[in-house]
Amino acid sequence: MCRARDNETRRIRKGFSDRSDRSKIGLCYFCDNPVKKGYKVCEKHYQMNIEKAEKGRQTQAAQDYMKSVKKIQYRSVKK
**From candidates 22, 27, 40, 45, binder to Zn ion by CB under 5 A:** 45
Asked if 30 interacts with Zn ion (CB under 5 A), we say yes
Shortest approach of Zn ion to residue 59 CB, angstroms? 24
Region for 33 from its dihedrals, namely left if φ exceeds 0, alpha if ψ lies in -120 to 50, beta otherwise: beta
Q: What separation, in Å, do the N-terminal and C-terminal C-alpha atoms of the chain show?
A: 86
CB neighbours of 43 closer than 8 A, spacing ≥ 6? 33, 36
Question: Which residue, 23 or 30, is less far from Zn ion as judged by CB?
Answer: 30
CB nearer to Zn ion: pick between 31 and 72: 31
- Contacting residues toward Zn ion, per CB under 5 A: 28, 30-31, 33, 42, 45
